[in-house]
């Protein structure tokens, strides 16, 4: 998910924006519709007044219909339609109210005013895109169709909502379209990180992403030049160092003094070992991908390391199943195991090392004193436990570098007089 954090953030912002827009327009729709209903509902007062006068004067139905027709109102006489409207129509608003009437009366004491209160109820309904008013009084009920009014029309509101919805969506689509070069740039960076120096970041785009891509292309060319110069320098350096070492080794054999011959032979041998270790370190640090990694039986890799270390077989005990396989660079991984065997035998009290597999981790055990410093101290270049030992202090540094190239780390633990180095 973290790899698509920007995309997820944009999609989340789009979802929130569209949901907020929809909620706003929905509330506006309900408010606007209610205001429309409230506005046209006031027409019930005219209908009520006409109907009350009709009841009081007991005028004819024709007169009632004529008075209502002035306001484009039609009395619903069809009983079936009457029932359908009341049963199936949508009630838009219903309100009960009181009607106050004043009448002049006479009795034995003379004239007096009589006030009467009548409970009425008006209901506005919508049925088949028509507006109806249903008036209920103590003396009777009447259903009237309004020929002039039309139900609430939300088309304009829907058009505005759709337009804004499309504009926001289109804006986010443009943003995502602008981010596509960023996705391609990330994929190219992955290839470049895997060692593909032929990948090109160059683009004709002049926006911010394009500028970044072109800067990366310029940086890639600088890195490529530096790597080529470094490789050329190291190869020439190795060649120039090995040539005088070889000549010195040959010249040493011509010395008459055995003491001097052994001294110079030791010096040139140490120099040759140093050059070889430097070459291995350069190879490990410049390893770009796992294309040279293959699957081998672990016991075969260990056998190769023992042969490389040139130690007696009796000095090494192997307790590893023959079916365990590892996916490694054979030469480098064998060198790492060889260095661990050399160190284990060199610093053990019994000149013996045991190689075992514990919880799928390769372990090298030897008896001796616990390390004087943390392991991190020893995996630094040119660091060693005993300066008098015939070593340049590059063994564990080289092992650590090789393990890192294989996605592993070097660990150490001490238990009851046993040093245990672990390829974890």
Tell whether 266 and 123 lie within a shared domain. no
How far is CA 257 from its chain centroid?
73
Tell whether 301 and 408 lie within a shared domain. yes
Is 198 a member of any domain?
Answer: no
Q: Are 340 and 366 within 8 A, CB to CB?
A: no
Tell whether 410 and 356 lie within a shared domain. yes
Question: Please, which residues have CB within 8 angstroms of residue 315's CB and are 6 or more apart in sequence?
Answer: 345, 351, 352, 353
Tell whether 298 and 419 lie within a shared domain. yes
- Phi and psi for 416 in degrees, rounded to 5? 50, 55
Is 341 a member of any domain?
Answer: yes
Tell whether 255 and 169 lie within a shared domain. no
96 membership: H or E segment, kind and range? strand 90-107
Is 386 a member of any domain?
Answer: yes
Q: What is the pLDDT of residue 416?
A: 85
Is 197 a member of any domain?
Answer: no
Q: What is the pLDDT of residue 278?
A: 67
Within 10 angstroms of residue 321's Cβ, the number of other Cβ atoms is 9
How far is CA 208 from its chain centroid?
22
Q: Are 379 and 402 within 8 A, CB to CB?
A: no
Is 353 a member of any domain?
Answer: yes
Burial 151-164 (b: 16+ CB within 10 A, else e): bbeeeeeeeebeee
Within 10 angstroms of residue 399's Cβ, the number of other Cβ atoms is 23
Instruction: Write out the E strands in 310-395.
Output: 316-319, 325-328, 353-358, 361-367
What whole-number distance in Å separates Cα of residue 142 and Cα of residue 122?
Answer: 10
Q: What is the pLDDT of residue 391?
A: 46
Is 392 a member of any domain?
Answer: yes
111 membership: H or E segment, kind and range? strand 110-127
Tell whether 175 and 227 lie within a shared domain. no
Tell whether 34 and 51 lie within a shared domain. no
Tell whether 214 and 352 lie within a shared domain. no
**Residue tagged 């109210």 (tokens):** 97
Block means of pLDDT (10 residues each) for the chain, length 424 residues?
70 87 89 84 79 73 80 83 87 73 52 55 86 82 83 84 89 82 80 76 78 83 79 70 74 76 74 70 60 84 85 86 87 86 86 89 89 80 52 69 85 88 88
What whole-number distance in Å separates Cα of residue 262 and Cα of residue 178?
Answer: 71
Is 187 a member of any domain?
Answer: no
Domain that residue 274 falls in: 209-285
Euclidean distance between the first and final Cα of the chain, in Å? Answer: 28
Domain total in the chain: 4
From edge to edge, which strands make up the β-sheet containing 73-75? 73-75, 140-146, 130-137, 110-127, 90-107
Is 195 a member of any domain?
Answer: no
Tell whether 273 and 217 lie within a shared domain. yes
Cα separations (Å) of 343 from 1, 274, 340, 350? Answer: 44, 16, 5, 13
pTM for the predicted model, two decimal places: 0.47
């Amino acid at each position: 998910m973290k790899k698509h954090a920007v995309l997820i953030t944009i999609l989340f912002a789009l979802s929130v924006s569209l949901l907020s827009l929809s909620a706003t327009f929905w509330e506006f729709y309900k408010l606007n519709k209610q205001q429309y209903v409230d506005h046209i509902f006031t027409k019930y007062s005219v209908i009520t007044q006409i109907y009350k006068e009709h009841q009081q004067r007991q005028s004819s139905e024709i007169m009632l219909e004529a008075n209502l027709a002035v306001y484009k109102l039609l009395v619903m006489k069809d009983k079936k339609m009457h029932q359908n409207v009341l049963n199936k129509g949508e009630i838009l608003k219903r309100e009960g109210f009181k009607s106050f009437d004043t009448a002049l009366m006479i009795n034995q004491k003379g004239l007096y005013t009589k006030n009467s209160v009548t409970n009425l109820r008006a209901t506005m309904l919508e049925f088949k895109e028509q507006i109806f008013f249903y008036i209920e009084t103590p003396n009777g009920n009447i259903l009237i169709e309004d020929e002039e009014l039309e139900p609430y029309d939300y088309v304009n509101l829907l058009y505005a909502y759709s337009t804004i919805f499309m504009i926001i969506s289109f804006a986010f689509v443009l943003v995502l379209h602008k981010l596509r070069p960023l996705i391609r740039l990330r994929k190219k960076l992955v290839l470049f990180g895997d060692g593909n120096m032929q990948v090109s970041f160059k683009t004709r785009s002049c926006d911010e992403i394009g500028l970044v891509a072109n800067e990366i292309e310029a940086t890639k060319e600088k890195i490529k030049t530096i790597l080529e110069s470094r490789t050329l320098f190291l190869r020439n350096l190795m060649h120039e160092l090995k040539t005088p070492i070889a000549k010195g080794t040959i010249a040493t054999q011509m010395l008459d003094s055995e003491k001097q011959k052994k001294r110079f032979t030791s010096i040139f041998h140490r120099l040759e070992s140093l050059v070889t270790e430097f070459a291995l370190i350069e190879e490990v640090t410049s390893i770009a991908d796992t294309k040279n990694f293959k699957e081998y039986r672990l016991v075969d890799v260990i056998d190769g390391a023992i042969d490389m270390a040139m130690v007696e077989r009796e000095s090494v005990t192997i307790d590893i199943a023959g079916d365990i396989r590892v996916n490694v660079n054979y030469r480098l991984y064998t060198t790492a195991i060889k260095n661990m065997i050399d160190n284990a035998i060199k610093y053990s009290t019994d000149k013996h090392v045991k190689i075992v597999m514990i919880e799928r981790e390769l372990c090298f055990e030897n008896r001796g004193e616990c390390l004087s410093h943390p392991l991190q101290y020893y995996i630094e270049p040119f660091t060693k436990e005993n300066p008098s030992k015939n070593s340049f202090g590059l063994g564990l540094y080289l092992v650590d570098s090789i393990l890192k190239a294989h996605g592993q780390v070097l660990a150490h633990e001490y238990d009851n007089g046993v040093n245990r180095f672990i390829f974890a």
